[in-house]
Chains A and B, each alone.
Chain A
Amino acid sequence: MTDRADVVFSCRDLHVFVEDREIVRGVDLEVRAGEKHAIMGPNGSGKSTLAAALMGHPAYRVEGVIELGGERVDGLPAHERARRGMFLGFQYPVAVPGVSVASFLRAAVSARRGEEVPIREFRKMLAEAFETLSIPKEFMGRSLNDGFSGGEKKRLEILQMLLLRPRFALLDEIDSGLDIDALKVVSEGIERAAGPEMGLLLVTHYQRILEYVRPDVVHVFMGGRIVRSGGPELALELEERGYDWLQPDAGPVEAAS
């Protein structure tokens, strides 16, 4: 038996349904502390559904087991998963008009800690994080994601990851809509947040970000399933050959270990 003590996240035989439609059709994953995994797959294959269901989105019916740090979380609502250290970076971060970035972040950091974060400490954290992500300070007082550009929203997602210090982070297409400079800033932010203790699952459509955030394991996701897993070279192969040679129903599938 391999040592499971450093597994920060796992799911087994995960199925996700929208009404009667099965969108995720049996997924197994295991992410260890310090590991970076990438999930790559074509549009519409169910990547965002997988990510949202793992985070506890109430619109989905989920079967299977989800564990965070060895404890089951599949029965828990989203906020409980977040408090225990799961983080989802959204493909499309949601605008909440009238709620300032700073007051939202303070509520989030306090919730994650289980106690109100003192205002001075919070200001300091915030200033550092804004600096790291090259976000102008004016954004602290703006409405959350309201009228932000795609790149600004994505930076703010990574900023939240930095502040919330998750044990396991899912980043759903954090790279989409970013120009090359923003991609570098976001990648640096990810590298900074992801220490030896955190597990990371990077969901992406393109190989590009993987040049900056180097994955240890690459999974190919098609038709609601992982159809192949391998090392970083698999990403390059996908870049060259596309997805067509990997049909979900064609031949045996190399299961995730």
Chain B
Amino acid sequence: MPLDEETVRRIATRLEEGEAGVAARLRALEVYREQPLPRRSLHLWRYTDPAALMPDGLGPLPAEAGGAPGPVPGRPAAAVLLRPGEHPGIEGTLPAGVTVEPLDGGDPRLGRAVPEVRGPFEAMNRAAFDAGVLVRVAPGTAVEGPVWIRAASGGGAFLPRILVDVGEGATVTVVEEHVGGAGGFRIAVTEILAGPGARVEHVPIQRLDDGARGHLTVRTVADAGASVATSFVSLGGTLVKMDLGARLAGEGASSELLGFLLGGDGQRFDHHTVHRHEAPRGRSDIGFRTVLTGRSRSAYTGLIRIEQEARGVEAYQENRNLLLSKEARADTIPELEILNEDVQCTHGATVSPVDPDQAFYLESRGLDPVEAERLIVGGFLEPTLARVPGGVRELLEPVIAARLEALGAGR
């Protein structure tokens, strides 16, 4: 189906939305129509053709949901399943003060962190998201265990949307896991609103099927004193762009973004992070690591922007790329836009093979070269893995082990 008014109405009807939802979606459709695909000369799109990520149509609803995603590991506070054209499946008993419910296209908070004018993918999702969930945490509430949201689909286009609204002083962990999608497109948008003093942990995990393409946008708005810890992992798909970031909108807000990707033969990744400091005394830190094998490719662009009024800010950004094969390639472009003098800011990037001294040290203890490399790579991923919530490590460890096993076999 084409992305037109009729399709948008059909999605809204299927999700039982009222007139407000339809109207907001149609406004976004106008924005979508007026936006050309981004020009390749923009630094954000230097490495990836946006046309390659844009679905040529939307799947018939509901699209076939794809492989049974299995139970969520660990002890989640709630398990949410998003499938194309369906209301979210929600399981778990939530503590008072927390609600998890279907997201309505008319929700006035939509677009606060990711406005539709941001780009065609964001506008498309706003107009036509075909599954959505709203997580609300009342002020002062602490949620134990993650709210685990799994977005699963078969082929075709799937446009899930997540909105997390965290009240003043509340604490919550949200896992966002993307699975399935073979041969299809995943155009996802997640917005997180962290109220004053809120503490939010967000764990986006991209483990789409082989052959899947995806454009995943995540934005957090952090109010005064809020702290956001994002741990992201990107493993799957054939061509995936992830665009993650936070606006530090209130004084003393902090955001820490740690993550890694593991790329194998035939995979192309394009990841972008941004920290936008709009208020004084904020703190932000980015540590993104890539491990690439075979003929995989990664492009990373990272932006730190510090507005004029954001004085006394500390902002750090590091990107490290480990190339395990001669054919793998990593590009990394850090960007700083700093509009005042009263800041502490560092950034760094490296692209290198496994350190031969580390390998020799381990081999001198009897580890064969494959084992040694596996241990070094495991250590390289540890900073992110060390801080993911319970259940996530359990989920990821066998997946990563299998990937590293494959690396060893492929040499």
**A: which residues have CB within 8 A of B?**
52, 55-59, 77-79, 81-83, 87-88, 90, 93-99, 103-104, 107-108, 111-112, 143-144, 160, 164
Overall SS of chain B's interface: helix
The 8 Å CB contact of A96, one of B362, B368, B371, is B362
Indicate whether A79 sits within 8 Å of B376 (C-beta atoms), given known contacts A98-B383, A107-B371: no
Q: Which residue of A lies closest to B385 (CB)?
A: A98
Instruction: Write out the residue numbers on chain A whose beta carbons fall within 8 Å of the beta carbon of B366.
Output: 79, 82-83, 108, 111-112, 164
- Complex-state Cα separation, A99 to B379, whole angstroms: 5
- Is B382 among interface residues, defined by CB-CB distance under 8 A? yes
- Shortest Cβ distance from A100 into chain B, in angstroms? 9
Interface pair B364/A98, CB less than 8 Å apart: no
Instruction: Write out the residue numbers on chain B whose beta carbons fall within 8 Å of the beta carbon of A93.
Output: 361
Q: Which residue of B lies closest to A103 (CB)?
A: B375
Indicate whether A78 sits within 8 Å of B360 (C-beta atoms), given known contacts A108-B367, A111-B366, A164-B366: yes
Q: Which residue of B lies closest to A114 (CB)?
A: B366
Instruction: Write out the residue numbers on chain A whose beta carbons fall within 8 Å of the beta carbon of B372.
Output: 79
Q: Which residue of A lies closest to B379 (CB)?
A: A98
The 8 Å CB contact of B363, one of A59, A82, A97, A99, is A82
> Could you list 26 A-B pairs, sorted by A, with CB under 8 Å?
A52-B360, A55-B364, A78-B363, A79-B368, A82-B365, A94-B355, A94-B360, A96-B358, A96-B362, A96-B376, A97-B382, A98-B379, A98-B381, A98-B382, A104-B365, A104-B375, A107-B371, A107-B375, A108-B362, A108-B365, A108-B366, A111-B365, A111-B367, A112-B366, A143-B382, A164-B366
Indicate whether A104 sits within 8 Å of B362 (C-beta atoms), given known contacts A98-B383, A111-B367, A111-B371: yes
Interface pair A94/B357, CB less than 8 Å apart: yes
Instruction: Write out the residue numbers on chain A whose beta carbons fall within 8 Å of the beta carbon of B71.
Output: none
Indicate whether A160 sits within 8 Å of B365 (C-beta atoms), given known contacts A57-B360, A98-B383, A99-B375: yes
Instruction: Write out the residue numbers on chain A whose beta carbons fall within 8 Å of the beta carbon of B408.
Output: none
Instruction: Write out the residue numbers on chain B whose beta carbons fall within 8 Å of the beta carbon of A77.
Output: 363, 369
**B: which residues have CB within 8 A of A?**
355-358, 360-369, 371-372, 375-376, 378-383
- Shortest Cβ distance from B305 into chain A, in angstroms? 30
- Complex-state Cα separation, A83 to B380, whole angstroms: 26
Starting from the known contacts A94-B358, A95-B358, A111-B368, 13 additional A-B residue pairs (CB-CB under 8 Å) come to A59-B356, A77-B363, A78-B364, A79-B364, A79-B368, A82-B363, A82-B364, A96-B379, A97-B380, A98-B380, A98-B383, A99-B376, A107-B365
Of B365, B371, B378, which is in contact with the most chain A CB atoms at under 10 Å from its CB?
B365
- Complex-state Cα separation, A10 to B310, whole angstroms: 67
- Complex-state Cα separation, A170 to B191, whole angstroms: 58
Interface pair B379/A79, CB less than 8 Å apart: no
Indicate whether A107 sits within 8 Å of B381 (C-beta atoms), given known contacts A59-B356, A94-B358, A96-B376: no
- Shortest Cβ distance from B306 into chain A, in angstroms? 29
Indicate whether A79 sits within 8 Å of B380 (C-beta atoms), given known contacts A59-B356, A90-B361, A96-B361: no
- Shortest Cβ distance from A141 into chain B, in angstroms? 11
The 8 Å CB contact of A164, one of B363, B365, B378, B381, is B365
The 8 Å CB contact of A88, one of B364, B367, B379, B381, is B364
Indicate whether A99 sits within 8 Å of B378 (C-beta atoms), given known contacts A82-B365, A108-B366, A111-B365: yes
Interface pair A98/B360, CB less than 8 Å apart: no
Instruction: Write out the residue numbers on chain A whose beta carbons fall within 8 Å of the beta carbon of B365.
Output: 79, 82, 104, 107-108, 111-112, 160, 164
Q: Which residue of B lies closest to A143 (CB)?
A: B379
Q: Which residue of B lies closest to A160 (CB)?
A: B365
Instruction: Write out the residue numbers on chain B whose beta carbons fall within 8 Å of the beta carbon of A88.
Output: 364
Of A78, A81, A83, A90, which is in contact with the most chain B CB atoms at under 10 Å from its CB?
A78
Of A52, A83, A111, which is in contact with the most chain B CB atoms at under 10 Å from its CB?
A111
Instruction: Write out the residue numbers on chain B whose beta carbons fall within 8 Å of the beta carbon of A59.
Output: 356
Instruction: Write out the residue numbers on chain A whose beta carbons fall within 8 Å of the beta carbon of B358.
Output: 94-96
- Complex-state Cα separation, A79 to B376, whole angstroms: 16
Interface pair A96/B375, CB less than 8 Å apart: yes
